[in-house]
Structure 1
Amino acid sequence: MNNKSYTIFISFVVALGGFLLGFDSAVISGAVGGISEYFSMTDWELGFSVGCVIFGAMAGNISAGPLSDRFGRKKILIVTAILFTVSALWSALATGYTEFIIARIIGGIGIGGAILIAPIYIAEVAPPKLRGGLVSLNQLNIVLGISVAYFSNYFLKDVEGESWRWMLGVEAIPAFIYFLALFSIPRSPRWLIQQLNLVEIAERILIKIGGKDYALTTIEEIQRGIAKKEKKGTIAELFSSRMHTIVIIAFGIAFFQQITGINAIFYYAPTIFEQAGGSTDSSFLQAIVVGLTNLVFTLVAIRLIDRLGRKPLLIIGTATMAIALSMATLAFNNATYDLNTNNIQKIENTEVRSNIERLDGMSFKSQTELFNKLSPLLSELQLNDFKRNEVKKFININATLVLIAILLYVAAFAISLGPVMWTLLSEIFPGSIKGIAISAVGFFNSLVSYTVTQFFPWELTNLGPTLTFAIYAGMAILSLLFVMKFVIETKGKTLEEVEELLIRG
């Protein structure tokens, strides 16, 4: 195995954690209906059951960095594989709501660790000319996991009995494979030198990665970087004035990656397409198309990130995201809600159906107008159930425009904020505080992600899809302005050069 092949191999093994992360994130989208019915969830409980995994991710975010600094990147990745396996099996077998939540949170801890440590490990072993593409392998595996989860959900949705258990439990298979594969990779050479001063072991690894000259040059750079640091980095140093530029870039890009709504799309894809009037079968199929689009354009990003650069991809992507989300907003804004005999007969609750029949033949320009008309006719419980489960049966919308908008949005995210954020985070922090810094930023990223995921079912029910997508479109515009003003280009620079540029800046 030559140097390049070896580097790609170990990077791919580590990036399998991204596959599990993506699978875990998307597989819940197919189980939403089943778990909601089995555990009799409200909108708020449903949002929490989907989003609680992010609480675990926060714990993983905040602990994985310091733990990986102390015990090594490889050992922490092995722990994440164990957590993924336990979570998949337990969530599939859960019989109580609290038990289900705990199992989901355990998986979240694995997510929080894998999403942070895998890019750090890859960035520390990859030569500069390959680093962007190899770090993006993690994002590629995330979107591959998302895509496979949508396929898995589609083929398991008709399993007799509680199909959601099979959807969640099947993740244990790739999780165990990941656990075994991690024993074939070396420890991070940069970590070996920075934390243990094991230069000879690190040199042997670096020779396998890039050859003798590359190993000697890299060791010299690492030791020069160590010599500049008087003490181990702390949270106080992260927020010191000399780190001002780095903190703005890191926390800003982490905020906009999630606030633009990507996890709402991935976690609730079938639900969104059902809101646009699709059947259950077609909604699951459209979710598969979303996953494939994400996969294809992540490959495009990997191809371009070390050629076109980080910042140009971010500008193109965020601008296109704003356009796509505006298209979705327009589609839902132009929708009408038509009450006719055929649609009304689809309502299962006979009392609700009887009360609504008096509105037969009426058409409404918005959900709000429809709900206001229904309010005196239905009890609060009936109205909430209608908002959540029945309103989609009455929508008259350009469903093709919704599908195009969602696919364009996912494609734009896949070439920009998806892979580029983690690449940037693995590059811009000094080695002395990288673990603790990325943990802090990852924690913040997860907090924003949880907020989006928790409130999305409530937003769809109470604000309606028009205003929900309008909010995300506004955030995409702000993300474009942020990228243009604050983000710097790191393409082709060594980690030490990036550090010098940003600290000096």
Structure 2
Amino acid sequence: MNSDQFQAFRYAFIVSLGGFIFGLDAAIISGTVKFITSEFQLSDLRIGAVVSAPGFGVLFALLGAGYLSDNYGRKKTLQLISILYLVSAVCSALAPNFMSLVAARFIGGLAFTSLSLASMYIGEIAPSNMRGKLVSMNQINIVIGLSAAYFINLLILKASQSPASWVTSLGLDQHTWRWMLGAEIIPAALWFWMLNSIPESPRWLMLMGRANDARASLERIFPGQDIEDQMEELTANASQDEDTRSTFEQVKQLFAPSMRTACLIGLVVAVVQPITGINAIMFYAPTVFEQVGIGTDAAFAQAVYVGLSSIVFTVMALLLIDRIGRRPLILWGLLWGVASLGVCSLGFGMAHYELSEQHVQQLSTELDAAKLAPMVGVVYDNDVAFKEALKEHLGETEAKQHEGRLIQMGGHLNSTLILLGILSFIGAFHFSIGPIMWVLFSEIFPIAVRGIAIPFFALITSIISYLVQQFFPLQLSMMGASEIFLFYAGMSALGLVVLVYFLPETKNKTIEEIEIALGNLRSEAPIAD
């Protein structure tokens, strides 16, 4: 990156910090599940409701994101999003009951459109030879936010167990989950302040007929460079797109025959990304690791490794995306992900569960161990049967409270194989379709319909993500870990087969060249590989 590109990098970095807030908001809830379940006496469906509330909120926000970004600008819409994150963090930390917590997290979900808006903005200001890297910064910041959330949760958990007087005075021991959720307040406020310094998208300004403002914006993004060629390109592009400014015209144009290829690609990628089950693992990380039988504290620690793996492989994708290209990374990454999920399914499938008399005696200080006496020496072939037996003898509330400890004691499974499979899948996802989905969204749709197209396909992704998050606790209870991972592997494999035939390569092409290659509005030219 030379000095002429520094400002574009700077503005893209500021906008991509919304990805950090998203990652923090999405994953911080993973550490609170056991605490809020106990405090509010939550069922599996209610746990899913708390975790998935942002995923539900974003469904509504995406319906208006295109209108706001097209009529009020990318910058103002991003600033509104940052305020929503801040309000959500404050209200979540102070929530007095289950419904208010769901409502507060729903507000945060309204801000999850930061992902699609950031990709849109960065794609519109980035030089073509840097677009993949700059848009991928959004994903880098997401995984850094995820990792930060796991690390913060671990620190707060360890602090809450300390006998120090300051722990009691701050309420860390009694309000552990509130401190976890409140950790988002400072970064959300900081992002709002930093967004004041970014310029408006020059492509959006030109589309609004504000040529002088577009020139000024380009001069801020590329100081000292000759921007006449870019101005001519923007002018020509805007003149062809004048008749598609209204929301109705954009929707009509999006589903026109000339957009068929771009829409097919957008649909397949939007479905495949969340159907891998990534949000089940990322948003319920300690819960997932408890199923491996390593205990609650160790599960929090292992979640940190999930975050670190995400960072490492996202950075690798960032470094390679403009060299290797989008298509190879997605296809090989998905194949790698399918194999990893298969390993997880195999590991859980070979497990069995059995409590001994010694285990029951060790638990006598934590619960009424006599209730577990009928389970001593009984071998359960899978985690579903074992958990059902625990509920039968302990009751649902007490069984959930001690589930991690009981699985740790009674589970006989290859934990190393499963842990490696999970971390391998995390690496595969963040090396491929995780960051590259947003790059493709920022590239394959013309400026005239981007304000509708990106939120629309992000909506599809969000619907599936919401369903995965909402029903994961129930699926875990009914299907078991092995069947869930096998389901995710099958869905990923199906998506891979489709993408092999339809996914094009877009690296090192300007947005206008990609439009022509896909036949979007300009011509009916075939896809260029």
Residues 466-505 of structure 1, C-alpha deviation per residue, up to 9 Å, x if partnerless? 1011101111211221221111111011111111111224
The residue number in structure 1 matching 2:186 is 173
One-letter code aligned to 2:140: L
Per-residue deviation at 1:103?
A: 0.5
Q: Give the conservation status (yes or no) of the 8 Å contact 1:352–1:378.
A: no
Q: Tell me, which stretches of 5 or more residues in structure 1 are unaligned?
A: none
Q: Give the conservation status (yes or no) of the 8 Å contact 1:62–1:442.
A: no
The residue number in structure 2 matching 1:133 is 133
The residue number in structure 2 matching 1:426 is 442
The residue number in structure 2 matching 1:184 is 197
One-letter code aligned to 2:98: Y
Secondary structure of the residue aligned to 2:174 is coil
Per-residue deviation at 1:234?
A: 2.5
Structure-2 separation of matches of 1:32 and 1:382: 13
Per-residue deviation at 1:325?
A: 0.3
Secondary structure of the residue aligned to 2:284 is helix
The residue number in structure 2 matching 1:30 is 31
1:281 aligns with 2:297: yes
Per-residue deviation at 1:383?
A: 9.7
Structure-1 separation of matches of 2:94 and 2:100: 9
Structure-2 separation of matches of 1:431 and 1:361: 66
Q: Tell me, which stretches of 5 or more residues in structure 2 are unaligned?
A: 161-171
The residue number in structure 1 matching 2:232 is 220
Per-residue deviation at 1:63?
A: 1.3
One-letter code aligned to 1:215: I
The within-5 A match list for 1:323-334 is 323-334=339-350
Q: Give the conservation status (yes or no) of the 8 Å contact 2:79–2:195.
A: yes
Closer, same or farther: CA 16–371 of 1 in aligned 2, 3 Å? closer
Structure-2 separation of matches of 1:384 and 1:461: 12
Structure-2 separation of matches of 1:348 and 1:123: 60
Per-residue deviation at 1:378?
A: 3.9
Structure-2 separation of matches of 1:373 and 1:171: 39
Structure-1 separation of matches of 2:127 and 2:401: 56
Structure-2 separation of matches of 1:199 and 1:315: 41
The residue number in structure 2 matching 1:193 is 206
One-letter code aligned to 2:25: D
The within-5 A match list for 1:350-389 is 353-370=369-386, 378=393, 381=396, 385=400
Of 356-365 and 123-132, the range deviating more from structure 2: 356-365
TM-score by length of 2: 0.90
Structure-2 separation of matches of 1:28 and 1:386: 17
Residues 124-145 of structure 1, C-alpha deviation per residue, up to 9 Å, x if partnerless? 0011001110000111111111
Closer, same or farther: CA 383–181 of 1 in aligned 2, 3 Å? closer
Closer, same or farther: CA 346–98 of 1 in aligned 2, 3 Å? farther
Closer, same or farther: CA 187–328 of 1 in aligned 2, 3 Å? same
The within-5 A match list for 1:15-94 is 15-94=16-95
One-letter code aligned to 1:186: P
Structure-1 separation of matches of 2:65 and 2:201: 15
Residues 363-403 of structure 1, C-alpha deviation per residue, up to 9 Å, x if partnerless? 2322355467778x648747975996644542111111111
Per-residue deviation at 1:4?
A: 1.2
The residue number in structure 2 matching 1:446 is 462
Structure-1 separation of matches of 2:390 and 2:306: 34
Secondary structure of the residue aligned to 1:423 is helix
Residues 419-447 of structure 1, C-alpha deviation per residue, up to 9 Å, x if partnerless? 10000001111111101111111111110
1:486 aligns with 2:502: yes
The within-5 A match list for 1:280-359 is 280-345=296-361, 353-359=369-375
Q: Give the conservation status (yes or no) of the 8 Å contact 1:26–1:149.
A: yes
Pairing partner for 2:273 from 257, 263, 274: 257
Pairing partner for 1:240 from 240, 256, 261: 256
Structure-2 separation of matches of 1:166 and 1:212: 47
Secondary structure of the residue aligned to 1:128 is coil
Structure-2 separation of matches of 1:417 and 1:265: 16
Residues 197-220 of structure 1, C-alpha deviation per residue, up to 9 Å, x if partnerless? 222222233234346765222222
Pairing partner for 2:174 from 161, 164, 171: 161
Of 200-209 and 83-92, the range deviating more from structure 2: 200-209
Q: Give the conservation status (yes or no) of the 8 Å contact 1:388–1:461.
A: no
Secondary structure of the residue aligned to 1:135 is helix
Secondary structure of the residue aligned to 2:353 is strand
Q: Give the conservation status (yes or no) of the 8 Å contact 1:318–1:416.
A: yes
- Aligned-pair identity in percent equals 38
Residues 284-322 of structure 1, C-alpha deviation per residue, up to 9 Å, x if partnerless? 111001101101111111101111100110011101100
Structure-2 separation of matches of 1:242 and 1:226: 18
Per-residue deviation at 1:460?
A: 1.0
Q: How large is the Cα RMSD of the aligned pairs?
A: 2.2
Closer, same or farther: CA 248–387 of 1 in aligned 2, 3 Å? farther
One-letter code aligned to 1:144: I
Structure-1 separation of matches of 2:384 and 2:73: 54
Structure-1 separation of matches of 2:182 and 2:284: 19
Structure-1 separation of matches of 2:193 and 2:294: 41
TM-score by length of 1: 0.94
Per-residue deviation at 1:236?
A: 2.8
Per-residue deviation at 1:2?
A: 3.2
Closer, same or farther: CA 152–381 of 1 in aligned 2, 3 Å? closer
Residues 332-361 of structure 1, C-alpha deviation per residue, up to 9 Å, x if partnerless? 011111221133345579997434313422
Aligned length: 502
